[in-house]
Amino acid sequence: MMSPRIQIPISIGGSRTMMSPKQLLITILVVFSTLSFIKFLLITHPSAGASSTAQLHRAEWESGNGTAARNDGLAAKEFALLRSVVAARAPCRLLVFGLSPQLLALAAVNSGPGAATAFVTDSTEDGDAARRVLAGRVGGSSSAVHRAWYPDVAGEAWALLRRARAAGPACARPTGTVSKSGCRLALTSLPREVLDARWDVVVVDGPSGAGPEEPGRMGAIYTAAALARAAAAAGAGGVVDVVVHDVDRTVERW
């Protein structure tokens, strides 16, 4: 005995046609496939909003305006304090872990005969943009941007610090040349012009470290301290100021 064939009436242009369940299913699949394809195009094709954001980012860099507010930047009072620290030591040798329009403005503060400013970043895009800005400036100071690779994410901080404490003399208050350090925390992959130089002020505001999967600042903070102690051990004289941003966060506080 054959089962009855079910047909569903569909109204098209005022007339009614009968559609079987199979035809209805095919129609639904076609509609959903079309919608999915349209959604894919919207996601993958650069929108006007994304283009405007990219243009704003480039304009912010090219202007070199270090007072621009950023969600991941320094607060106004923090930037004023950091600026005053650099201004009090200028002309000096300034090393900055991190790169943003705010931090880039420190190169202009650190001006005068013998002044030198170096930035360390893990972002190729930011590094290229900063070099263009620095190349267009003239003054009595030299500036450089170095690329870094941070091997450890913030979520590995506790395990990394525990291993460092167990390493004994290799990581305990280093006073020798940082480029020859045997401590896992030392950023020995940085260029020699960073590791072998004597710095008067070292600022740590990079890498991001904003989440457990983001590059952490363990190595940057340890290397900043190691560079300061190496300068003191070499009898270079004077005090090395080390400034660390976001010390309210767990990793930076550790």
- The per-residue pLDDT for range 134-189, each reduced to its tens digit, is 887 655 568 999 999 999 999 999 999 999 989 888 887 766 678 888 898 999 99
Q: Which pLDDT does position 140 carry in this prediction?
A: 55
- The per-residue pLDDT for range 46-60, each reduced to its tens digit, is 443 434 434 444 455
Domain locations along the chain: 19-63, 70-253
Q: Which pLDDT does position 218 carry in this prediction?
A: 95
Is the distance from CB of 105 to CB of 60 less than 8 angstroms?
A: no
CATH classification number, 70-253, choose in 3.40.50, 1.10.3470, 2.60.40, 3.40.30:
3.40.50
Q: Which pLDDT does position 91 carry in this prediction?
A: 94
Ranges in the chain, pLDDT < 70: 1-19, 35-72, 137-141, 174-176, 235-237
Structure tokens at 53: 């954001």
Q: What is the largest CA-CA distance in the chain?
A: 103
Buried b (16+ CB within 10 A) or exposed e, 213-232: eebbbbbbbbbbbbbbbbbe
